[in-house]
Structures are given as C-alpha cells and as structure tokens.
A and B are shown apart, each in its own frame.
Chain A
Amino acid sequence: MSGINKLFSQELKILNIGTSKFKDDLELQGQDVLQLDWEPAAGGDIKLLNIVDKLSSRKEIETANKEAVKRMINSHPILVDIDKAINVIPGMKENMILHSGPPIEWDMMAGPMQGAIIGALIYEKRAKNEDEARKIAASGEIEFAPCNEHNTVGPMAGIVSPSMPVHVIYNKTYGNYGYCTINEGLGKVLRYGAFNDEVIERLRWIEEEFAPTMKKALKNTQDGIDIKSIISQAIHMGDECHNRNKAATSLFFREIVSYVIDTDVDTSVIKRVLDFIKENEHYFLNLSMPSCKVATDAAHGIENSTIVTTMARNGVEFGIRVSGLGEKEWFTAPANMIKGLMFPGFKEDDASPDIGDSSITETMGIGGFSMGASPAIVQFVGGTIEDAIGYSESMYNITEGENTNYSIPNLNFRGSAIGIDIIKVIEKGILPIINTGMAHKVAGIGQVGAGLVNPPMECFKKAITEFDRKN
C-alpha cells in the first residue's frame, strides 16, 4: 500500500506552517493541528539559507563538530603557575602589548583600551606620563597583537605587557597552556583604562609581592589547583563565572589559602596577598577566562568544524574565530552597545561599545549561557529569573552539545549549552547571549554598568560565507 493510501485510512495530524487562518478552520473540523511559530530561517537571506542547507547535509562537518565539542568538554584546566608574560606567553616580545578582541591599530582603539595601554607603558617605564605614552604608542615602536592569538585572554581592555604576571593554566587533557593577568579588583583599574598612580602602584605590587608569593604557593601544591572542579561547583552555587564569581573566588580562596600560608614569605605579605584575593570577588574571573581559553584552543583547528572557538571584542569591533578556519582568521563587525542597568550617575551614552575577551566564557557555554544557574546575576544585568532561564534554554538551539561538567540546577542539572555552531546561528537567527560589564567610553573612569549584549550577526554571516567558499 502506498503512503498516500495509508494516509486515506488515518486520522489527519496536521502541522500548519504559515498563516494560522488555516489552522482555525481545521480546528473547526475537529482536527488535531499544531501551529508552528515559523520565521524564515537565516533571517530570510536565501543565499545564506542555501549555504546552511548545503553545509548541514555534510557528514564530515557533523563529525568534526562533535570532535571539537568533545575536546572542549574533555579539557581539564589546572592553575599551575604565575609568571611574567614575557617568560611564558608564546611569541611575547619586549616591545609587544597584547589587547582584547580582534586586531586593531592604536589610532582606531576605544578610549578604555588606549588608557590601559598608556598605563601599561608607564608601568613598563617606557613612558613617564600620558603624553609620552601616546607618542610612543603611535610611533609604531610598540607591536600590538590580540591576546587570543597568543593563547591569552584579557578582560575589558585586556592589556598585557611583558612584565605583567599572568596566571598559567595547563590543560591536563590536551597539554596546551593559557594565560591571563591578575584581576585588579573594581574601581579605578587598568582594564577599564585607568592609569593614575594608584593603578600603576597596584600593578607593581602585584608584580613584586603578590605574584612571587603565589608562585611559591602554587609550587607547594604539587599538582596545581583544579579550576574545572571549582567552576562546576561554583555554577551549583549561583555563579556563572563571567559576571558573578563570588562562589568561585571563595572556593579558590579555600583551595589556595594553606599553600600561601605554607610559603616562606613574611606573614604581613601573606596577609596582604590573601586579603587581596579575599576582597576581590572577581578574582576568579581571571582564572575562569584562561580555563575556557585552553578548552577552546584545544578545539581550534579541526578541519571541517564550524564551531566557534573565540568570541572577543576590542571596544570597536566584535570578532569571532571558527575551529575549521585559520588561526588568524577573524570575522568582525562593529561591536554592539550593551543593554542593561547603569550605575547611579551614569547614562547609556557614557558607555563604550562592547569590549573584552571575557566572552570566551560564553564560547565555552558558561557566562550568559549559564545565566539560568545564576539568579543573583539577573538583577545586576536587569531582567527576571524566567528571562535568565530562557536565555540558557534558547542557547541549546545554536550549540552542538551539552556540557554535563558544568550543569545547571534550575534546568534539572542539564549540561550547559556548549559549542556554538555558526551554521545553527545563521539558520535559527539566534545569537549567542553574553552578559558583561560596561566600561566608560572615556579612559580611566571605570565600570559604569552591566547588561546583556549579542555579537553582531554580520560576524557569523561572514564566517559561514568564507567557510562555504573554502570547503
């Protein structure tokens, strides 16, 4: 019997795709109809839709994406050391300064990034004051490069200069390393573009007292500190490890404290070091970020994979990189403005466009992707708990897998959505959700609010078009 004759003997079970008028009249006839909330895929762009359909049908892409996500999930980040950037970051040079986001020239940089570079040049004693620093920065003698191209990530301006100490994260599973500076706390800090004496002094203290002590403490640990384990616990304690790191910082403090005490340094130094961690509830952000970085780096360079391995912003442009495309192949578009809550005394106009490498957390499926696990963050960025859970749920539409290592209690411990697939982003028209801080557009003023932001769709359009051209 043909399928058509079979249909003649069945009850109709109807999917109605399009105008609901037809559904109404079918229901009038007592029929079982399911209405689709249909929208044209790929934002209605036929050219992109054809690419989506072509790529979606290819088995080798599916296999490659599974491999990429497997690598991200299986990655196991351990904090093993703290050392100066110049000593450990691959390709770091004496005259090099790393910054957040995709590549950018000095004169194009956002206010906070320029401010942080000025601060870094003063800190490195290359310049005495702002004027000198600006001249040097513009002279071409300093080589600027994206952190992400050097296994490094940096929050906000993301400035890393050669003498700055960095956390060294080792990926136990795949043997690669990742780096990130020490979080300076809130208020006037370099990452928001501040460069006054207080900022420079703190950076020097970190270099001279904090880092050497921590280095010793980490040596005491033998195996380092297991960051993967802290992140999975912290997510069960209300962190999403991007904008909220309270639980994770506490857990880290608990892990490190006796090793610090066991060092041979002066008690007053130990107290200062421990107080510094204790009093900065964002300390862990600079551990969470490089831990995500080692996982996404391990997933980069898999032929045929359409999984996003980097999302990063420099305050002017948003850039993404894709596993199956080149190491230095960025797909960029102007960074969006963040929508959220302003701190008292600031207005939306004061904010710089989206900036920082911290969206590496979302690339790894935490941060905005795990907001459902972090009710406390909801108020900070504006919105309701339902919104937060909704964001987490909608991310499953655009990701390849679920990371049970980082599971979300509010979703019945479902693994967080991981492995953003550019094909799915284009097809579904759903953009990754990022929750993030807002920097003042003028260098040195600091954080002015926090909220939610998406990458521009243009990045994904460019990426899928290029992927299609090459494959």
Chain B
Amino acid sequence: MATFNIGKLFKYLILSVLAIIFLMPIYVIIVTSLKPLSEVSLESMWALPTAIDFSSYAEAFQQLAPNFMNSIYLVIPATLISALLGAMNGYVLSKWRFRGANTIFTFILFGMFIPYQSILIPLIQFLRTVDLYNTIPGLILVHVVYGLPITTLMFRNFYANIPDTMIEAAKIDGASFLGIFRHIIVPLSITGFVVVAIWQFTNIWNEFLFAVTITTSDQQPIMVALQNLSGSQIVQWNVQMAGALLAALPTLLVYIFLGKYFVRGLLAGSVKG
C-alpha cells in the first residue's frame, strides 16, 4: 500500500482535470468582474487583470440593488410560509394517516413536476383579478402554493423517521393534535426545517419563469434583472459577470456554509420516503 500506486494517481488525475473544467466558469466570472473596462476584450478573456478594479461591481450593484432587495422581500416570507405549511401537511400525512391519505399525497405531489407554463395563463388572470399581479405579495403567494408539494414531501419523509410509538404515547397522555406538533414534532424537526428552508430559499431565489411573467420593471426579482443586464447591448460583460456573481452570492454562501443540508434537501426531493 505504501508503494507508488499508479491506479490511484490515475484516478486523481481524472478527477483533477474534471474539477478544473468545472471551475473554469467561476474563474472567468471572478477574473472578468475584477478587470477595468480597458482590459475587457474577447482575446484576453482568460488573462488575469493587471490591477484589481471593483468598478464593475459598483456598476452592477447600482443596477441590481433594487431587484436584489425585491428578491429578499420575496424569498424570506415565501420560504417561511411554505416550510410551515409543508411541516403541517407532512405531519398529518405521516402521523395522522387516514383512508386515502396516500392518494391525497400523490395528488399534491404531482404539482411539483408540472411545467409551470401549463398554469401560467390562468394564474396571471387570477392575480390580475385579485390585484396581486406585478406585486411581491403576488409572487410570494405563487411560490407558497407551488412550493407546497416539495415541502410536504420533504417533511413527510422526515417525519417518517420519528417513531409512531412516540406519538401514540403522547396521545395516551392526552396530548392533542396541535400539542403533539408543538411539543414533540417541531423540536425534533429543527434539521428538517433547516433542510427545507435552504431548499426553498435556493429555488425561489433562482426562479425565473414566474418572476419574468408576473412582475415588470421595478417589482422584478434579481434573476430577471440579471437577464435584462446580460441582454442589454450597452452594458459591458465585466459588469454582467459582476452582476452574475452578485446574483449568485446568497445561494453560493448558503451552499458554502450549509452545503451538507443543501445536499440532503436535494436527495430528499427525489427519493421516496
């Protein structure tokens, strides 16, 4: 084992080459966004900047800041409400099963896979009727509703691991439906809440289709503003790169610091309970 191991070296080599390829886009984002306009050219995309210049960040920030705040106002309530509703649904569907509970669960779950194009036209008509079109509360409502399937699924899977005997014991002790939820389920599902919240935060922050169809100009979340920035002919691509990094920063930070929970969410969303 202590001897030189060709096989192992080969494996490292493949992984390292792939890793470098995977990191190249990030390299381009960072390097380009730190260049002054005079050094931004098609030929020198891969070259390091001669001096670090933050002016593209200043400009990207100036253009994107209002939309960044829109996204914050959208993502925090939408995440909290959808997590809370999902927890309640998951609790009912795993610990208070009734005849047809599985059918209702599948009925809800289907909503997670539909192409949202197939509900978009009525949704917009509905939002216009209730005066929520082109508002952040309108988008919050949309993300809460269409987030229900995934949050319900995640909490239901999570609660399946809490032994039924615990619930039965509490019932015998006279605990009520809400009492059990508050005193047993919630304290045991802190991790579950973290996983679901991170998942919802990432998805809602990154979402584009609802954002671009339900809001216009000053109500638009960050991803729509970033797309507008990159589509604009006037803005140089060092600014676009800086904008891309600013827009990606919150979810990247979440991934860097809470990556473990992010991956758990990713797995929970795809594997049956």
A binds B: no
